[in-house]
Every structure is written in structure tokens, then in C-alpha cells.
Chain A
Amino acid sequence: MDERVLQILIDSFMKILMAGIRVTIPLAVLSFFFALIISIVVAVIQYADIKGLKQICRFYIWIIRGTPLLVQLYLVFYGLPSVGIVLPAFPAAVLCFAINEGAYMAESMRAALEAVPKGQLEAGYCVGMSYWQIMRRIILPQAFRTAFPSLSNSFIAMIKSTSMASTITVSEMIRQTQIINGRVYQSLALYLEVGFIYLMFCTVLTWLQSYGEKKLNAYGGAK
């Protein structure tokens, strides 16, 4: 590798990394936070079999899982302004990622809820608790533990999906890389570099996941 390329890599590394820390990570964390709320609400509505709302939830999951994330991003950022709804790029991206990943996570949460033994609900009833008390204190905590690995998976996927926000002008890592590459024409080196930074982020998350799983298992290991 000649010295010029090395110098380009060194110069660009901090710029791309900072875009990661300032944009990619906040984008992923915020989107994941809202996706988590969406998924819990949507999963609980289905689990509790709330008439009417349940059908709306199934419709939401059907639409979101059946259309590309890129289409959803374009619709919100480029499409909605034509009906008078103009969102800045970053909030538009958060909205899309949250709604998109929320649909997938809702399915993981629903499966985890259904995996909680039926007897837990009955035992709760028999000690005098109400359905929602049992849901909040007994069933959801157990479901969350079951869902933890697949939720971690979703978060890792979310980190990488944020790269698509570059297509709606959010200056996250990929966009930053594209801008630098436009000046220096070193696609191979620069995209290897940004790939490596994504890998670093995801490696840290993988560590956090196994730490979290150990922590949850310490609480009795359930089944």
C-alpha cells in the first residue's frame, strides 16, 4: 500500500468514526428505543387479543415487512413533502427505522410472550392480581428475557441499516465516506475502512449482548 493511500486512510478514519459516533449511533439508539416501544405495544395487543386493534397490528406488520426499507425511506423523505409533510432527514430516518424494525421486533416479542407458560397467568389470577398487573410484573419480564437475543440481533441489524439513511442525505458514516471518496477516489481502501468501523461497533454490541445474557441468566435461568 503506498504512502498516499495510508495517509488518506489515517486522515479519513477520524472523520468517519466521528460521523459514526455523532450520527450513526444516535440514529440507531433512538430508532431502536422507539422500535422497542412499538414492538411491545403491538405484541401485547396481539397477545391480549384486543379486538379491532389486533387487526390493525397485523395490517401494520404485513405492510412493513412486505415493502423494502428503502421504499419506506423514500416515501417519507421524498414523497410526503408533496402532500405538505416535510420532515428533516434525521427525524425522517428515525421514524422509518423505528416503524420498520418495530414490525420485526413485534413478532419476536409476540413469540416470546406466547412462550411464557400459561400457568403463570393462572397463578397470578389465583393470588388476586389483575390481567394487566400480571402482564407487567410476571409475563412481560419473562418474555423480555426470552426475546433478548433476538432483540440484540435487531439492534445490530439496525446499526447497519442506518447506512441506508445516506440515501436521504443524513450525514452518517457511509455518506461521509462517499464525500471523502469523491475527492480522493480510493473506493477499495475507504469502503474497507468504513466496513471495519461497522465491524468494531457490532463487535462491541456482541460483547454487550453476551454480558446482558449472563446478567439475565443470573436471575434464576427460568426454564
Chain B
Amino acid sequence: MIDVRNVTKTFEDFEALKGVSLQVEKGDVVAILGPSGSGKTTLLRCINFLEIADSGTMVFDDETYDMHSISKKDISRIRRKTAFVFQNYNLFLNKTVLQNVTEGLIIARKVHKEEAEKKAIAALEKVGMADRLDSFPSQLSGGQQQRVAIARALATDPEIIYFDEPTSALDPELIGEVLAVMRDLANEGMTMLVVTHEMNFARNVSNKVIFMENGQVIETSDSKSFFENPKEERTKLFIQTIQSGRE
């Protein structure tokens, strides 16, 4: 469904991405792992054009785009088929929970208000936030805000949802509720590309793992063999470190 090849991106004189490629098939749940500063988030932001890559190509739904010279029109066409969940939620602060979810439907997709609200409420029910329709983001906990953000992503029927460290800004006791929602989505067959530090999620929910370091992909494999039978030395070290950290 998405095939990204040789993405490079340099900030000032820091090479954030040094030719990264990845493939996501329909129904995949792909976890991107790696230490801080490895370029995971930059990669995700380039894939949704929040950053414009210096070079790279993307095949999305059988159409090929140059990731550096892509037009605004193509960007918005691709964005309408995707959704993005941010580390710090980024709910619209001046909108209620319901309006946060309907905004992209009514304004960007010209869906009729009643239909949009019906869809929004269904999405909010899925994440367990349908009882807070009229609350403002400032009245919600981080976990609740992130669940609303996931509902906002779901409501537009995206072909894929990108998650940028969706639990990293949360208090430890709130992480579970967000991961549970993500696990449900994965079980329903939603295609997801997830930058995360949650090893349990990567091991138990995702079917593919991409391990990055220093702006490069070190290893790509299915999640079972990634954790049980890593190929690369660097990956072995990484897995040992997290396991010893847990025990």
C-alpha cells in the first residue's frame, strides 16, 4: 500500500535520514523502534509531508510521487487518505471533543453536519469518549485527549494511521488505556505505522518491526523473529538492553 524508498533529510548540518526505505501492506501494524535521535519521528513526518524530504520516492495506492518535489495538491490528496496521531495530541484547543472529530469531516471533506456527527460519535464510542462530547481538551486528562485524537483519526476512514510516539507524553498510569484502543484497532485490521518505545506493543500487537539508528534502517523483520531471533548485532544489543532494563 505504501512503499517509501531512499528518503533523505538534513537539518542544518545534521543528517536525520540517510536513505531510509520501508513498505507497509494493507492490514500491517508496523512498529518503528530505535533510540532517541535515530530519525523515527522525522521519517514519519516526511511520510505525511509535515517535513519535506530532501529526496525519496513514495508509492501510495499504486501512484508514484517524488517526495521532494510533490505538489501541494498531491499532498492534500494523500493526506485525505491518511491520519496522524501526535505525541502531544494536538487537539484543537478552541473546539469541543465532538467538534475536534467533526472538523476534518465537515470542513475538509464537506460531509454534511449530521452525518459527520454520527460518524464522530461512533468513533468516540470506539475509544470510550462518547460521554465527553462537549468537553474542551483542557478539561481532559492526557490519556483522554489522546483517545479523542485517535477518534479524530478514525472518523475520516483513513487507509492508514500514523502514530508518532502516542504514549510518550502520558503519565504511566494513562498509557494502558491508549494502548488498549490501539490494540483494538489492530485487531480490526486497521493499517498502522507506529513510532513507539512500547516494547510490549511492538512485540504483541505489531506484526512487523523496523529498527532504526543514526538515520538508517538497521533491521526490518516480522516482530516475532525480531525479538526472538534478531539478525543484526546492534539489534541484539538493543533487545538485551531493554530486557535487562525490565528485569
Task: Please list the residues of chain A having a beta carbon within 8 angstroms of any beta carbon in chain B.
Answer: 117, 119-120, 122-130, 133, 137-138, 141-142, 145, 219-223
Tell me the smallest distance from the CB of A175 to a CB of chain B, in Å: 43
Asked if residues A219 and B94 are in contact (CB atoms below 8 Å), the reply is yes
Per-residue A-contact encoding for B227-247, CB less than 8 Å = 1, 0 else: 000000000000000000000
Q: Which residue from A122, A123, A124, A128 sits with its C-beta under 8 Å from B80?
A: A128
Query: Can you list 29 A-B contacts (CB < 8 A)?
Result: A117-B90, A119-B90, A122-B86, A123-B84, A123-B86, A123-B90, A123-B91, A124-B92, A126-B50, A126-B79, A126-B82, A127-B103, A127-B104, A127-B152, A128-B79, A128-B108, A128-B156, A129-B107, A137-B107, A138-B92, A138-B95, A142-B93, A219-B136, A220-B93, A220-B94, A220-B96, A220-B138, A220-B139, A221-B138
A34 to B83, CA, bound (A): 40
Asked if residues B109 and A126 are in contact (CB atoms below 8 Å), the reply is no
Interface of A is mostly: helix
Chain B residue numbers with a CB within 8 Å of A221 are 136, 138
Asked if residues A128 and B93 are in contact (CB atoms below 8 Å), the reply is no
B76 at the interface (CB under 8 A from A): yes
Asked if residues A120 and B92 are in contact (CB atoms below 8 Å), the reply is yes
B137 at the interface (CB under 8 A from A): yes
Asked if residues A119 and B76 are in contact (CB atoms below 8 Å), the reply is no
Q: Which 8 A-B pairs have the closest CB atoms?
A: A220-B136, A127-B104, A128-B108, A119-B90, A126-B84, A123-B90, A128-B80, A129-B108
Task: Please list the residues of chain B having a beta carbon within 8 angstroms of any beta carbon in chain A.
Answer: 48, 50, 76, 79-80, 82-84, 86, 88, 90-96, 103-104, 107-109, 136-139, 152, 156
Given contacts A120-B92, A219-B94, A220-B93, contact A125 B79 (CB under 8 A): yes
Asked if residues B93 and A122 are in contact (CB atoms below 8 Å), the reply is no
Q: Closest chain B residue to A143 by CB distance?
A: B94
Count chain B CB atoms within 10 A of each CB in A125, A141, A142 and give the residue with the most.
A125
Q: Which residue from A119, A133, A145 sits with its C-beta under 8 Å from B94?
A: A145
Tell me the smallest distance from the CB of B25 to a CB of chain A, in Å: 22
Tell me the smallest distance from the CB of A148 to a CB of chain B, in Å: 13
A209 to B103, CA, bound (A): 30
Tell me the smallest distance from the CB of A220 to a CB of chain B, in Å: 3
A141 to B136, CA, bound (A): 14
Asked if residues A122 and B136 are in contact (CB atoms below 8 Å), the reply is no
A208 to B42, CA, bound (A): 47
Asked if residues A126 and B93 are in contact (CB atoms below 8 Å), the reply is no
Count chain A CB atoms within 10 A of each CB in B76, B88, B108, B109 and give the residue with the most.
B108
Chain B residue numbers with a CB within 8 Å of A141 are 94
Tell me the smallest distance from the CB of B112 to a CB of chain A, in Å: 16
Chain B residue numbers with a CB within 8 Å of A117 are 90, 93
A58 to B104, CA, bound (A): 34
Asked if residues B104 and A125 are in contact (CB atoms below 8 Å), the reply is no
Asked if residues B156 and A223 are in contact (CB atoms below 8 Å), the reply is no
Count chain B CB atoms within 10 A of each CB in A123, A219, A220, A221 and give the residue with the most.
A123
Chain A residue numbers with a CB within 8 Å of B108 are 127-130, 133
Chain B residue numbers with a CB within 8 Å of A220 are 93-94, 96, 136-139
Chain A residue numbers with a CB within 8 Å of B82 are 126
Asked if residues A130 and B76 are in contact (CB atoms below 8 Å), the reply is yes
